[in-house]
Amino acid sequence: MKNFFTSFLICLTPVFINASSNNARKDYIKEYSAIAVEQMMAFNIPASITLAQGILESGAGNSLLAQSSNNHFGIKCGGSWNGKTSFHDDDRKNECFRAYSEVIESYIDHSKFLTSNQRYASLFNFENEDYKSWANGLSKAGYATNPHYAKRLIQLIEEEELYQYDRMRKKMPIVSQKSQGLIQIQASQVSINRLNVIASLKGETFYKISLKTGISLRQLHKYNAALGTMENITKGTPIYLQAKKRRAHFKKFIVLSSNSTLADVSQSEGVRIKSLMKINRISTPHQLLESGVKIFLR
């Protein structure tokens, strides 16, 4: 079993690669790969690692804990848990486990666990595509006592080609059209100005994005201040998952292809509104600028 802090214990259910059929694995991947990628975008944890751990520990979603409590990572209650609970025999009889209304909550908890504990800090020195170092690092840090844990993760990642999901963060935006002054993008996971961004889905709201990514509403509104407080977000709008930068990394300037504002440019280029105002000596972010105007990004 895992040797975690006593205030936040996780159980590794002894379900290994051969415990679930190949079809069950593929169904699991199809259903949860998008969530794993979103967690990678928000927390910088390889999607391949998250998916592999989810499959191993939940029996591809078929374990009793996963079925009854939507708990795919065996997270125990811990002293700080105030949510729903369920009780199952593990190291001891009738132990307390966290229960979730939706599976995505289990994924968010898993991400927060790895990012909030110092013992896993060294993992974030590895690249997202270096799943072997991540797997070995998790084992070395004591995530599981099974000496073959890293080998099992790597085997599963390679058999199911889960490493392909680690590359999705590098997809660049595909410019299509402008709607409400904002450049729309077709890819669901993109990078703008070296920032993690997702493209909003149909009917998306900041609340739904907050649930998917684990980022608070307050932070999302702050990162996307150019959008104001609008809740019904147009499909394909770039939504930033981290603070915009003071200057563009790749571009010196852009030439507006249609009438736009600095707020629009901020959202499409990943540069803070205040920085754009200062660089371009424009006093208001919502002043309408005509097509053909050059806007400096650094």
Residue 192: helix, strand or coil by DSSP? strand
- pTM of structure: 0.56
Residue 40's pLDDT is what? 85
At residue 148, the pLDDT reads 93
Write b or e for each residue in 198-235: b if 16 or more Cβ atoms lie within 10 A of its Cβ, otherwise e: bbbbeebebeebbebbbbeeebbeebbbbbeeeeebee
First to last CA, the chain: 52
User: Going from the N-terminus, what domains does the chain have, and what CATH number goes with each?
Assistant: 17-168 (1.10.530.10), 171-296 (no CATH)
Question: Which helix (H) or strand (E) covers residue 183, if one does?
Answer: strand 182-185
Report d(CA 20, CA 18) in Å as an integer. Answer: 6
CA dihedral 206, 109, 101, 201 (to 10 degrees): 30
DSSP string, 143-201: S-S-TTHHHHHHHHHHHTTGGGGGGGGGPPP-EEEEETTEEEE--SEEEETTEEEEEPP
Q: Give tens-digit pLDDT for 92-138.
A: 788 888 888 888 888 988 888 888 778 888 898 888 889 999 999 99
Q: Is the pLDDT of residue 27 over 70?
A: yes
Q: What tens digit of pLDDT does each residue of 43-57 get?
A: 889 999 999 999 998
246-269 pLDDT, tens digit per residue, is 998 777 888 888 888 998 899 888
